[in-house]
Amino acid sequence: MKKIGMLTIGQTPRTDILPAFKEIMGPGYDFKEAGALDGLTYKQIDALGFEAEDYILATRLNDGHEVKVTKRALLPHIQRKINELEDAGVRITVIMCTGKFPPFKSKGLVVTPSEILRGTLEACLKKGKLGIVYPAKEQINYMEHEFGRTGIELYGDFYSPYSKEGLDLLCSRLVKEKLDLVFLNCFGYGRDLKTAVEKATNVPAIQSNAVIAKVLTELA
């Protein structure tokens, strides 16, 4: 079976994400999970700290709780887990996060979804209004820098995939914006959110983890 490293920026197991990959990709793959925060306590995670200029990411711990961490603090932990996966024979690893990351040292392929997803958005919507849903309110501040381009009007919103509260309000806000496309900008967003958003807005919604799962079938 083909080994694929599934590296979350939080803790394993990611029972909210892996089943979707297995469903889309089908049999024949041996998924090896690893988490950048595996083995760390709440106190140790809090000690990672925040600086005003830090890029904030949201993720889930193995007890289901949501935490916010900085990309700066996560990078060495991610690199360590890539090394561990490759020592176990993995040659394709996907970082299960839509945030933008620098290159990692690797003996094989490390898939960072942000570039793939941005290319998908640019290919699908040349002109119009793009709605971007983030898992944390603070991340909306990154929207213009990450997705702004000529001919595209942006609308940012947020919805935690880990609390499951406020879905009706999110859909109501998206409907009012009269969008042409919605981007669900978090690996934790599943088919249920995509279905709800598309039903409410009557426009396509891009589910990040589903797109990357389909790309992996070509790579593996």
Q: Are residues 140 and 166 in the same domain?
A: yes
For residues 119 and 108, membership in a common domain is answered with no
**Entry pTM:** 0.94
Predicted confidence (pLDDT) at residue 155 exceeds the cutoff of 80: yes
**Shared domain check, 149 and 122:** yes
- Half-sphere exposure in the Cβ direction for 129 (13 Å, CA): 11
**Domain membership of residue 144 as a residue range:** 115-206
CB 185, CB 97: distance < 8 Å: no
pLDDT band, residue 208 (cuts 50/70/90) = very high
Mean pLDDT of 169-178: 98
Verify that 108 and 119 share a domain, yes or no: no
Give residue-wise pLDDT tens across range 90-125: 999 999 999 999 999 999 999 999 999 999 999 999
If you average pLDDT over residues 50-74, what whole number do you get?
Answer: 90
User: What Å distances lie between residue 83 and 39, 90, 91, 135, CA to CA?
Assistant: 16, 9, 10, 28
Query: Do 215 and 109 belong to one domain?
Result: yes
Q: Are residues 140 and 124 in the same domain?
A: yes
pLDDT band, very low/low/confident/very high, at 163 (cuts 50, 70, 90):
confident
- The sign of the torsion formed by the CA atoms of 187, 97, 37, 56 equals negative
Give CB contacts under 8 A, 24+ apart, made by 161-168.
161/16, 161/135, 161/186, 161/188, 161/189, 161/190, 161/193, 162/58, 162/60, 162/64, 162/65, 162/66, 162/135, 162/188, 163/66, 167/193, 167/196
Number of domains making up the chain: 2
6 plus 109 within the same structural domain: yes
Query: Same domain for 93 and 127?
Result: no
Residue 12: which CATH number? Answer: 3.40.50
Query: Tokens 């392929």, residue?
Result: 109
User: So what's the pLDDT on residue 87?
Assistant: 97
| Residues 95 and 7 placed together within one structural domain of the fold | yes
Is residue 91 domain-shared with residue 37, that is, in the same domain?
yes
> Within this chain, do residues 106 and 34 fall inside the same structural domain, yes or no?
yes
Domain match, 90 and 184 both:
no
The CATH number of residue 198's host domain is 3.40.50.1860
